[in-house]
Amino acid sequence: MALRFTCARRFVSFNTTIRLRGVKNAPSVTPGIYTAIPILVAWHDAMAITLDWHALCHAPRLRSREARMHEARQRFPDAVFATSLVEPGMRATAYRRWLRPIAMVEACNDAPVSASIITYRLGQITLAQSTSSPVHYLRDEDTIEKGRFGECLLLRLLIKGSVHGWFGDAKVDIKEGDIYLSDLAQTSEVWLEGDCAHINVMMRRADLGDITVHGRVLHGEWLPCRMLREHLLNFIDILRHCDADNVKEMTKATMELLRFCLRTDDVNNKDTGYFLDEARERIVTYIDEHLSESDLGALRLQREFAVSRSQLYRHFAELGGVQHYIRNKRLQAVLRDLCNEPHRSITDIIERYGFTTERQFQRAFRARFGMTASQVRADWKSKAMSDICEVIEN
């Protein structure tokens, strides 16, 4: 199977093809490189060559018709970078060149740079997963002037490690689970401490209106931030299996959740204390601990916390109501277990989280994620996805 690559080095551009194993008359390739994987090769000065993923959906396969149809439904990244696929001596240079339009990058110690970026362009936003060893990012006025992202904002969810830095004149410290934002029209300087992993969302500044975001940190223990964090984690988990309509709805939900977080964070900064209410935090903790119990609901919470129905409603009004919140938490837990416990039956997982009937569950799950639990389980266990995950992890 011939796959098209594109590469541009200064003023020179060209196309080339490679052939992969599993295809008639194809020569052998480097061990560990399989069909449908991100590929990065060093070309003289470690210029990245990016795979044209669309070829994967249309190229001939020596597989069954069902397998080809299944694989065609997979959503592959638009761009991939990984230092593990670059010659060791060229890794730092390759990473600097990859991120040059956004920031200058330097290692924080003498250890080799280790990093990966998987990017999906989704219309209104660009979504990316990234990992990195300790590095220093600098976005100065020269980088802003030469780059093309001056009209964009960058949201980063820190899922591993810790970060500190300066956004303009403001010093910030970010811990695991926090979400921080930067305006790419303004200067920033950030240090990653230890091995870090992020989920990143780039968007147009105009989509958030006149809300000030540069250096804003949404703390991980804050409930709206937890909602946005879980949404982003779920978005990444199911993105490869979503059709265009599902992606559009998930993107819309991402922006709405972010606006909600920023609005309510502004309320907190005015010392209203609404979302810092200790009673509501205790209720949320209780819900997390009792998700598997079928009688968990508004009546039980009223008894446990001695609050009226109207008080309970006010606590969760901005989140769609307490029943809506509990249902979404259960659906997210089911989605996580479908992926993390492939040997456990779907029926067992449904019963674990208190759904009384399978029909009720399937209707709610499909409405939330745009596919059935069986589709999620089948897609997650697919060979193509296993190959991609194995190579990325290695």
Question: Range with the lowest mean pLDDT among 6-15, 68-77, 144-153, 260-269?
Answer: 6-15
Looking at residue 294, its pLDDT comes to: 77
Question: In this structure, is residue 386 part of a structural domain?
Answer: no
Q: Same structural domain for residues 281 and 264?
A: no
Question: In this structure, is residue 125 part of a structural domain?
Answer: yes
| 371 pLDDT higher than 60 | yes
Question: In this structure, is residue 390 part of a structural domain?
Answer: no
Mapped onto helix, strand or coil, the DSSP state of residue 218 is: strand
Q: Same structural domain for residues 168 and 248?
A: yes
Beta strand pairing status for 188-204 and 135-139? antiparallel
Q: Same structural domain for residues 134 and 262?
A: yes
Q: Same structural domain for residues 246 and 290?
A: no
Is there a contact between 73 and 118 (Cβ–Cβ < 8 Å)? no
Q: What is the mean pLDDT of the chain?
A: 75
Cross-strand pairs, 16 = 5
| 128 pLDDT higher than 90 | yes
Looking at residue 75, its pLDDT comes to: 62
Question: In this structure, is residue 119 part of a structural domain?
Answer: yes
Question: In this structure, is residue 98 part of a structural domain?
Answer: no
Sign of the alpha-carbon dihedral angle for 326, 332, 335, 337:
negative
Please tell me the chain's helix, strand, coil percentages from 3-state DSSP, rounded to the nearest 5: 45, 25, 35
CATH number at residue 375: 1.10.10.60
Domain count for the chain, please give it.
3
User: Which pLDDT tens digit goes with each residue over 104-122?
Assistant: 999 887 778 999 999 999 9
Q: Same structural domain for residues 118 and 223?
A: yes
Looking at residue 348, its pLDDT comes to: 84
Question: In this structure, is residue 153 part of a structural domain?
Answer: yes
Question: In this structure, is residue 331 part of a structural domain?
Answer: yes
User: Which pLDDT tens digit goes with each residue over 223-275?
Assistant: 889 889 999 999 998 887 788 888 888 899 999 999 988 887 655 554 444 44
Looking at residue 53, its pLDDT comes to: 36
The pTM assigned to this predicted structure is 0.59
Residues 325-336 have a mean pLDDT of: 86
Question: In this structure, is residue 96 part of a structural domain?
Answer: no
Looking at residue 272, its pLDDT comes to: 41
| 305 pLDDT higher than 90 | no
Q: Same structural domain for residues 128 and 262?
A: yes
Q: Same structural domain for residues 121 and 175?
A: yes
Residues 21-39 have a mean pLDDT of: 37
> DSSP of 297-365, one letter per residue?
SHHHHHHHHT--HHHHHHHHGGGT-HHHHHHHHHHHHHHHHHHH-TTS-HHHHHHHTT-S-HHHHHHHH
Ramachandran angles phi, psi of 16, nearest 5°: -145, 165
Which residue range(s) make up the domain with 55? 1-74
